[in-house]
């Protein structure tokens, strides 16, 4: 799983706000998730283009992209 490598690399810390995230708690602002560095590209996730993100930042960044 590349997600394991990403978590180890980013040390379960949000790439954007540098706050520790919690992958055990899937709810709340500090729940851990993954985000593409380049939000505009819906490409296949790789270790290079994917980072650990907290739920808050992930949703902030998921503003409407032109369909």
Number of residues that bind Zn ion (CB under 5 A): 5
Instruction: Compute the chain's Rg from CA coordinates.
Output: 11
Query: Among 55, 62, 47, which Cα is nearest to 17's?
Result: 55
Q: How far is the CB of 9 from Zn ion (least distance, A)?
A: 16
Given a contact cutoff of 8 angstroms between Cβ atoms, the answer to whether 45 and 2 are in contact is: yes
Q: How far is the CB of 67 from Zn ion (least distance, A)?
A: 26
Given a contact cutoff of 8 angstroms between Cβ atoms, the answer to whether 21 and 53 are in contact is: yes
- Contacting Zn ion (CB under 5 A), which of 12, 16, 31, 36? 16
Decide if residue 57 touches Zn ion (CB under 5 A). yes
- Which residues are near Zn ion by CB under 5 A? 14, 16-17, 54, 57
């Amino acid at each position: 799983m590349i997600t394991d490598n990403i978590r180890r690399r980013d040390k379960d810390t949000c790439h954007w706000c540098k706050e520790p995230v919690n992958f055990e708690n899937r709810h709340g602002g500090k729940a851990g998730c993954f985000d593409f560095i380049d939000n505009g590209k819906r490409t296949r996730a790789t270790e290079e283009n994917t980072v650990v993100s907290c739920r808050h930042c992930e949703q902030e960044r998921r503003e409407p992209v032109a369909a």
